[in-house]
Amino acid sequence: HILENSPPYQSKLFIQQAYDYDYIDNQNQLKYQLKNFDENFPFILEINDDLSNRLVLLLVETLDREIIDSYNCTLYVTDTNGHHTQLFIKIIIDDVNDQSPM
């Protein structure tokens, strides 16, 4: 979930990184890619460099729940042998009372 008034380039959604038990130096062996995302998907995928084992979906555009109330994407993770897995992600935009009474 993310609030519709969340500021772009400051708002992040965290995702735990995948782990491959075949490798000791695990994080260097995995590649992450967003696919099948909705048109005008307002997030980009970043890898957090602080060793917290998290991926970050960084908001890069303003959200408006009255126009779009959720976004979908699939996170694909592939190892060096071509084995892969996927995670379906649904991001729900939470409403903020931003309309004056009529």
Average pLDDT over residues 14-37: 81
Query: What residues does each domain of the chain span?
Result: 2-94
Average pLDDT over residues 46-74: 88
Sheet hosting strand 2-3, strand order edge to edge: 2-3, 84-94, 70-78, 31-35
List the structure tokens of 71. 């976004």
Q: Can you tell me the distance from the alpha carbon of 92 to that of 90, in angstroms, rounded to the nearest whole number?
A: 6
Distances (CA, A) of 96 to 22, 63, 65: 45, 11, 8
pLDDT band at 81 (very low <50, low <70, confident <90, very high): confident
Distances (CA, A) of 64 to 13, 30, 58, 95: 17, 34, 16, 8
**Which residues make beta-bridge pairs with 93?**
2
Question: For the whole model, what pTM was predicted?
Answer: 0.84
User: What is the pLDDT at residue 32?
Assistant: 93
Q: Can you tell me the distance from the alpha carbon of 35 to that of 22, in angstroms, rounded to the nearest whole number?
A: 25
Q: Mean pLDDT of all residues in the chain?
A: 88
pLDDT at 71 over 80: yes
pLDDT band at 27 (very low <50, low <70, confident <90, very high): low
pLDDT band at 39 (very low <50, low <70, confident <90, very high): confident
Q: Which fold has domain 2-94?
A: Immunoglobulin-like (2.60.40)
**Which residues make beta-bridge pairs with 33?**
76
User: What is the pLDDT at residue 74?
Assistant: 97
